[in-house]
Structure 1
Amino acid sequence: MNPKQFFDKVVELRQTQREYFRTRLPDALRKSKAIEAEIDKEIKRVQQIEAERAKAAADRLQGSLFPDS
């Protein structure tokens, strides 16, 4: 998911949440929770990518201290 798609999904989530709180319909709640799960999954995916990038950067920095080892 790219940043624009993420933004659009969050907008959709907020709309479904407002609909649920306005109507209290079970279907609106179900839809809201499904979108929230998508967003949570995407956040976890991006956090994993960022953690891997940070580890790779740290490994490169650490490796440069003793290049012949």
Structure 2
Amino acid sequence: MTPKDFFDKVVEMRRCQKEYLKNKRQIDLRISKQIEREVDEEIERVQKILHDKQNPQLF
């Protein structure tokens, strides 16, 4: 995921969260949770890359 893709995903997530808080529709909650999982997965992926760069394996 590119930084722009990540940014767009977070913007979409926040929009869905706000929509859910406004209307309390279950579909908005489900969508926002799905997008949140995608954002969390990307954060974990990038953290692993950064960790691996900071701690290279010798063998």
TM range (shorter): over 0.9
List aligned pairs for 1:52-63, cutoff 5 A: 52-56=52-56
Matches within 5 A, 1:1-69: 1-56=1-56
- Stretches of structure 1 lacking an aligned partner (at least 5 in a row): 60-69
Aligned-residue RMSD, C-alpha: 0.8
In the alignment, the residues of structure 1 paired with residue 32 and residue 7 of structure 2 have an alpha-carbon distance, to the nearest angstrom, of 15
Distance in 1 (CA, whole Å) between partners of 2:24 and 2:32 is 11
TM-score, normalization by structure 2: 0.93
- State the 4+ residue runs in structure 1 displaced beyond 3 angstroms: none
TM-score (norm 1): 0.80
Q: Count the aligned residue pairs.
A: 57
Q: Identity of counterpart residues, as a percentage?
A: 49
Larger Rg: 1
Deviation track 1:13-64 (CA, whole Å, cap 9, x = no partner) reads 01000000000001100000000000000000000000000012xx6xxxxx
The structure, 1 or 2, with the larger RCO (C-alpha pairs under 8 Å, 6+ apart) is: 2
In structure 2, stretches of 5+ residues that fail to align are: none
